[in-house]
């Protein structure tokens, strides 16, 4: 029996760093014929990656056999003005759907896999092919729509968004959710049956036990690190207030590894409060340096505003990488992450704004850091059972081959 022909639809693809890359590469390795419909890469810097452009690599067959179709794209620009970002989204939906229309005529697929990020309209090209070829579409929900946007728009735009999202969910053969908390919302919103919604979480590449690159020495003390995108969703008033409570306690060192929209504000906060000896900021590094940085710290900080329903339900992808390193987690989040941390017993967790609770817990940890470190072993065991790439792709194969 020949392997399936799969079309992966995502606005982002290699060299942009998203999980859909792993899906395409792993399925291709396992004998599937994978095509990718995407845009010209320009995230996160807002300019086209070297070697790509309006007239460069619009259609390419990679060395691994994956064929990539890149539709016309307007880069978001280095300053990422809202109108430029919005225009880029709209252009992708339109031209992606046009490309999808022609692909549906000239190529035959067995199924569609949609990596559904924000905005959900990025699923439109996949919906075009699925409808025209009458084939199953599997939608992997990483950002919960329309919950993500319903706080920001109203009236006709919200009605259009709601209608599109219902259509997307109802057209899907199966809806794959990255967080169990998404299930109830989608069932209520779209009338989807629970059996058609499958938990398909993020994964991480192995970190614990990997070779360690040479990195700069980090400050002495109990080191708490936040790694990944540094945005206003991850660094907000409660995180700043928590760090201020340790301003005169040099036992604790805060390490921030990564870039993002809140990074400049974080640096200003450090300067304004004269906390250069408490807080260290480091630029984003290639993944092969991550094991060394994670190995050098004592705990990982996972923060996520809980002021919106979708944020309560979200399990950020960085959670898997934290526990893959075997490090205990200090979580200030909505109930989705808090419940998971408690279930795994891989650290301590608090409401997103419970500064006092987190402060007192860290003081207790400082009295017996060895006991807290052991919770990292629980996280690592859970990662190896549920969050490895191999296990997740095995699960995906069972889904698209109707064994699930």
pLDDT of residue 291: 95
Residue-wise pLDDT for 314-349, tens only, equals 888 899 999 999 999 999 998 888 989 999 999 999
Nearest Cα residue to 387 out of 195, 138, 206, 190: 206
pLDDT of residue 151: 75
Beta-strand relationship, 59-61 and 33-39 = unpaired
Q: What angle do CA 169, 35, 179 make, to 5 degrees?
A: 35
pLDDT of residue 404: 54
List domains and CATH numbers for the chain.
5-203+388-400 (3.40.50.2000), 222-386 (3.40.50.2000)
- DSSP per-residue string spanning 269-317: HHHHTT-TTTEEEE----GGGHHHHHHT-SEEEEE---SSHHHHH---T
* DSSP label at residue 150: T
The model's pTM is: 0.84
Q: What angle do CA 340, 25, 133 make, to 5 degrees?
A: 95
pLDDT of residue 308: 63
pLDDT of residue 305: 83
**Contact assessment for residue 37 and residue 103, using Cβ atoms and an 8 Å cutoff:** yes
Structure-block tokens of residue 324: 């893959």
Nearest Cα residue to 258 out of 222, 300, 221: 300
Query: Where does 172-277 have alpha helices with state H?
Result: 182-190, 237-245, 263-272
Which residues of the chain are under the pLDDT cut of 70?
1-2, 79-82, 307-312, 403-404
């Amino acid at each position: 029996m020949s392997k399936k022909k799969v079309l992966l639809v995502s606005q982002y693809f290699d060299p942009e760093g998203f999980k859909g890359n792993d899906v395409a590469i792993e399925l291709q390795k396992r004998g599937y014929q994978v095509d990718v419909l995407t845009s010209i890469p320009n995230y996160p810097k807002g300019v086209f990656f070297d070697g790509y452009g309006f007239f460069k690599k619009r259609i390419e067959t990679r060395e691994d056999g994956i064929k990539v179709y890149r539709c016309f794209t307007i880069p978001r620009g280095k300053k990422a003005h809202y109108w430029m970002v919005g225009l880029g989204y709209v252009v992708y939906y339109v031209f992606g759907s046009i490309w999808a229309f022609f692909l549906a005529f000239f190529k035959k697929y067995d199924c569609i896999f949609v990596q559904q990020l924000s905005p959900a309209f990025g699923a439109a090209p996949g919906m075009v092919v699925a409808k025209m070829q009458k084939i199953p579409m599997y939608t992997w929900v990483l950002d919960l729509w329309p919950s993500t946007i319903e706080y920001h728009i109203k009236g006709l735009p919200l009605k259009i968004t709601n209608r599109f999202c219902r259509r997307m969910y109802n057209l899907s053969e199966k809806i794959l959710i990255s967080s169990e908390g998404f299930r109830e919302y989608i069932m209520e919103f779209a009338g989807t049956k629970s059996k058609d919604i499958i938990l398909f979480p993020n994964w991480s590449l192995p970190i614990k036990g990997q070779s360690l690159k040479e990195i700069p020495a980090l400050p002495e003390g109990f080191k708490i690190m936040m790694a990944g995108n540094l945005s206003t969703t991850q660094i907000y008033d409660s995180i700043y207030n928590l760090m201020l409570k340790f301003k005169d306690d040099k036992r604790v060192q805060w390490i921030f590894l990564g870039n993002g929209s809140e990074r400049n504000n974080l640096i200003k906060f450090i300067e304004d409060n004269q906390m250069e000896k408490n807080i260290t900021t480091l630029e984003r590094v290639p993944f092969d340096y991550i094991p060394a940085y994670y190995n050098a710290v004592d705990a990982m900080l996972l923060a996520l505003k809980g002021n919106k329903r979708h944020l309560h339900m979200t399990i950020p992808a960085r959670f898997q990488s934290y526990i893959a390193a075997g490090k205990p987690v200090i979580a200030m989040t909505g109930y989705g992450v808090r419940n998971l941390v408690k279930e795994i017993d891989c650290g301590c967790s608090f409401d997103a704004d419970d500064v006092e609770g987190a402060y007192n817990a860290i003081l207790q940890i400082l009295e017996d850091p060895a006991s807290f470190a052991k919770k990292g072993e629980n996280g690592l065991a859970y990662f190896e059972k549920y969050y490895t790439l191999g296990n997740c792709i095995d699960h995906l194969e069972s889904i698209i081959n109707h064994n699930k």
